[in-house]
Amino acid sequence: MTPEQALPKPGRWPVPRGLEGRTAAGLMRLVRAPSVTLWAVLASRVVVLVAGAYGVLVPRGWEFSPLSTHLGAAGNALLGPATRFDAAYYLSIASHGYTSRPDLPVFFPLYPLLIHGLSYLTGSDVIAGVAISWASFGIALVLLHRLAELELGNRAADATVLLLAFTPLSFFFTAVYTESLFLLLSVGTIYAARRERWALAGILGALATLTRVTGILLVVPILIMHLPSRRRPGRHLGWVLLMPAALVGYLAFLAASGFSWLAPFQDEAHWDRHTTGPIGGIELAVRLAIRSAGAIVRGAHPLYNPTRFGPLSPAGQSIYLLLVLLIAGVALASCLRRLPLEYGAFAAIALMMCISSPRPGQPLFSLDRFVLTIFPLWMAAGAWIAKRHLERPAVVIGAILLAFYTIQFARGSFIA
């Protein structure tokens, strides 16, 4: 029997612990990128690099932070688009810690800490941040392909990585943002648990928690996945405690540094976010979208109105974000139907957290970026696309929109 024949059929759970993953051959199979994954990473990043350079070299006159000008004209054209907006906060923390602004604790420490460490080799925080994002994205897609292949089959796995690589906002995966690192760690956590590597799952989950607050939600799928395994339950469950321990450790560090214990949550008010719960967030979003649609129909507001605040008018953005939520809801329903419970549980609570703290005037602010890392939704969408053989049109449409949004972001127009 070949190694590929030894793989479990899609959707089977659990996978028994065997030699695979502990031998050199198993490790080689883990890191070997399938051709589709490699093509998805390289082709989508070419789109991002070319479109980003165009956005820098042919600006619209909007102001943006000159964080990469020290790299020269060519370096600024290639890496400048990766340093817009929130990237400035991660770079500031990497250079100066959390002391420069009182509202920085909402940005969790692992990514800026890695930037700080790697910058000793690269000589530049910007180069370090981009390198971490690129590497994390590539490895994350390899692991996501393997995970989707286990659950849904090879064609759905191919479609999953293609969709995620070419989704219109995937330029965030190679920007100085936490999207790619968090995707890598969250997918790695579930993949390790799927292979019953509980210690590795606990460590990766703890690192994910130190990357974004939603990392703590990985406790839920890990506990669900642990139920079928009855061997040494106490020892296995002990690794799960690393995730809440990581969160407590970060909060303790903030308290020792002069911040409030709950600073990451209290500081949401500095960013105009107020917790209402998912129902309140949805209600506000629906009401705003209805009013916005009426204003557009009456001609009071345009739909497309590119400014430094985004390519759509505020009314158009409200409708667009509600559409993103509806699509995410459909993907969640498909996820609950097609995938084991742990995937749907993680996707559901992650999506609810994303919409539970609305901003006045735009309740679903940044939702289109937040859903990038809720990978079970992309697995379900990939299975749907693969079943209907729609991979090619999905990639073509996604690449066009990816180029458009990358240009806007590179020019200093706020996206998500």
pLDDT tens by residue, 273-308: 888 899 999 999 999 999 999 999 998 889 998 888
Helix (H, G, I), strand (E, B) or coil at 285: helix
| Least confident segment among 32-41, 205-214, 407-416 | 32-41
Task: Give CA 298 to chain center in angstroms.
Answer: 37
Q: How many Å apart are CA 213 and CA 200, to the nearest integer? A: 20
Task: Give CA 341 to chain center in angstroms.
Answer: 21
For residues 281-316, b (16+ Cβ closer than 10 Å) or e, as one string? bbebbeebbeebbebbeeeebeeeeeeeebbbbbbb
Q: What is the mean pLDDT of the chain?
A: 89
**Apex 41 CA angle, 355 and 170, nearest 5:** 25
Given pLDDT bands bounded at 50, 70 and 90, which one contains residue 69?
A: confident
Average confidence (pLDDT) over 49-59: 92
Which pLDDT tens digit goes with each residue over 332-379? 999 999 999 999 999 999 999 999 999 888 999 999 999 999 999 999
Average confidence (pLDDT) over 184-206: 96
Cβ atoms of 321 and 362 closer than 8 Å: yes
Q: What integer pLDDT is reported at residue 18 of this predicted model?
A: 44
Given pLDDT bands bounded at 50, 70 and 90, which one contains residue 8?
A: very low
Q: What integer pLDDT is reported at residue 228 of this predicted model?
A: 66
Q: What integer pLDDT is reported at residue 64 of this predicted model?
A: 61
User: Is-cis flag, bond preceding 14, omega within 30?
Assistant: yes
Concatenated DSSP letters of 36-80? HHHHHHHHHHHHHHHHHHHHHHS--S-----TTGGGHHHHHHHHG
Given pLDDT bands bounded at 50, 70 and 90, which one contains residue 182?
A: very high
Global pTM? 0.90
Q: What integer pLDDT is reported at residue 99 of this predicted model?
A: 85
Which pLDDT tens digit goes with each residue over 94-131? 999 998 788 899 999 999 999 999 999 999 999 999 99
Q: How many Å apart are CA 117 and CA 158, to the nearest integer? A: 34
Q: What integer pLDDT is reported at residue 266 of this predicted model?
A: 83
Share of the chain above pLDDT 70, in %: 88
Question: Looking at the chain, how many residues does it have?
Answer: 416
Share of the chain above pLDDT 90, in %: 73
Q: What integer pLDDT is reported at residue 229 of this predicted model?
A: 55
Q: Which residue has the higher pLDDT, 58 or 350?
A: 350
